[in-house]
Chain A
Amino acid sequence: MVLVFAESPRGQFKKSSYEAVTYGKKVADLLGTSCIALTLGTTKDAGELGRYGATKVLSIPDASFDTFDSQSYASAISEIAKSNNANVVVLSHTSTGKSVAGRVAVRLNAGLVSGVNSLPTTSGAALRVKKSVFSGKAIAEYEISSEVKVLSLMGNAVKPENLGSAVTVETVSVASAKGRVRVKSVKTQEGTVPLPEAEIVVSAGRGMKGPENWGMVESLAATLGATTACSRPVADAHWRPHHEHVGQTGIAIRPNLYIAIGISGAIQHLAGVNNSKVIVVINKDAEAPFFKAADYGVVGDLFEIVPRLDEAFKKFKAG
């Protein structure tokens, strides 16, 4: 059996949870077994996970799971994995998943590969699975030989798919493991898709000259339903908030489309974005290193190009 832990922060599943269930279902098919999803805490519509391929959803609606603690989560996930004889446990490679995956692996005496980005292959009783390493500069294939295997799935690596099956939702409980972390508050930006989950990212760098010029970037992002990002010097200079900083020291992202405006493409910047499916670079310097990593490039003045591109997208959306 493949057990997928589907996160539901503040009662809502995330896109990454649907991706994890889709992935878990495909791993289950590969192994000729079924896919069960687990949700912790109050969850709006647990049955929804059936659409992505879970045949059963186990729900532990204990309010103590409404705030996150790696110990209580890991103990619940491991207990359910054991009682259901899970061969593979799938988590999302999110802030929650990263805090929990290692703990679950230790508890289950399992080999762990985190941040996997494609379906595994079997090699006897072992699983082989790939992930990106060296900040996107290489790919490593891991072999997991333990009886139970733990995988965390990189965001945007698979698309949530309608693999619909009849689903049963069962409320279960676990021996209570009290978390020792006391969550005081959770602050999130409302209304925008968080960078790690964004499918389109519009990002700008020092070529923008100053924070007062960001209107055109925000307008382009709004047209595309994209999330905005920036290079490190831009965040360091407080032109933009720190949570927008992408790259090696900031957030690593892998959107479908990354539009880089007035960013030179330093290796530390690329480390956070070069897993994007398609990269568009707008830079007045034809020698800017970013063009080497780009799929599409426009050489010219961003102050003219960005509004024009915005108009072109608007026209496309309208027609």
Chain B
Amino acid sequence: MKLLVCISQTPDTTSKISFNANGTEFNAAGVQFIMNPYDEWYALVRACELREALGGTVVALNVGPAANETTIRKALAIGADEAVRIDCEPNGAGFVAKQIAEYARAENFDIIFFGKETIDHNGSEVGAMVAEHLDLPYVSYASKLDLNGSTATLERDIEGGVEVLEVDLPFVLSAAKGMAEQRIPNMRGIMTARSKPLKEVPAVAFEDSAKAVQFSLPPAKAGVKLIQPDQMDELVRLLHEEAKII
């Protein structure tokens, strides 16, 4: 079993988000970076569980600069066997997908895991793009994955329900809540992570034709209007006449 888990690095969920003065760049000063939660909690952990049950190798892959190595080591501490970093700035989903696909093409992975989305760009784009580059089936928002030989059974979150489906290896998935339980790396994991291989691979040239060019903060809320607990008719009136939503 050869499993690839694509991990991205994102600002911590509680980070204060700000940009440079002309709004062209994210201001990383003072921001703590983490492994994208869906990649870590669900994709990586489920891949490790399958490896533990069935044998094989879990490779963690990040497209990013050398500064991301702390995050990559965490993936090794949680249980990936080896890691690959494609050395570049991850500029856009199309660009990242191209890098991952070019690396994965020659490696014949059985399953390529993604998180359901990155919590910074909220794209849900990269997994589908990689699947297309490699001409593989893609199961997005998978909340359950079981293997029976070379056939996988998955549950996939859809609007207001779930879809149960089967697909043969190899395929690509994106992981959502339910697929696994978060794991905290233990001391032994952290120690062995230091000696696990972390390979650096050069990026291929690719121009992403969709680029984030301008960032801004949402307009501040006007502030909460407080209504007395015994004035619920007044709240309904405001929702009707002022907010005009009922």
Contact = CB atoms under 8 A, between A and B. Distances in A.
Given A98-B141, A182-B165, A183-B165, A195 B160 contact: yes
A106 B132 contact: yes
B215 A113 contact: no
B108 interface: no
B123 A114 contact: yes
B119 A135 contact: yes
Nearest to A294: B224
A95 B156 contact: yes
A146 B209 contact: yes
B120 A114 contact: no
Given A69-B137, A74-B132, A114-B123, A183 B216 contact: no
Contact of A296 (B125, B163, B212, B227): B227
Given A100-B128, A278-B245, A138 B19 contact: yes
A247 B97 CA distance: 26
B226 A99 contact: no
Nearest to B128: A102
B205 interface: no
B93 A280 contact: no
B246 A316 contact: yes
Chain A: number of interface residues, binned into ranges: 35 or more
A206 interface: no
Interface string B129-158: 101110101111100000000000100111
Nearest to B124: A98
Interface in B92-136: 93-94, 97, 119-129, 131-133, 135
Contacts of A192: 160
B229 A114 contact: no
A181 B165 contact: yes
Q: Which of B124, B126, B156 has the most CB of A within 10 A?
A: B124
A127 to B, nearest CB: 9
Contacts of B13: 135, 248, 267-268, 271
Nearest to A151: B210
A242 B178 contact: yes
Contacts of A242: 177-178
A280 B236 CA distance: 11
Given A103-B132, A189-B160, A257-B239, A95 B141 contact: yes
B155 to A, nearest CB: 9
Interface string A199-222: 010000000000000000000000
A280 B163 CA distance: 33
A115 B215 CA distance: 15
Contacts of B121: 133, 140
B129 A102 contact: yes
A95 B226 contact: no
A111 B210 contact: yes
A142 B160 contact: no
Interface in B187-246: 208-218, 221-222, 224-230, 232-233, 235-236, 238-240, 243, 245-246
Contacts of B168: 180
Interface string A167-197: 0000000000001111111111100111111
Closest 9 CB pairs of A and B: A194-B160, A102-B128, A188-B161, A111-B210, A111-B209, A300-B229, A146-B209, A102-B129, A312-B232
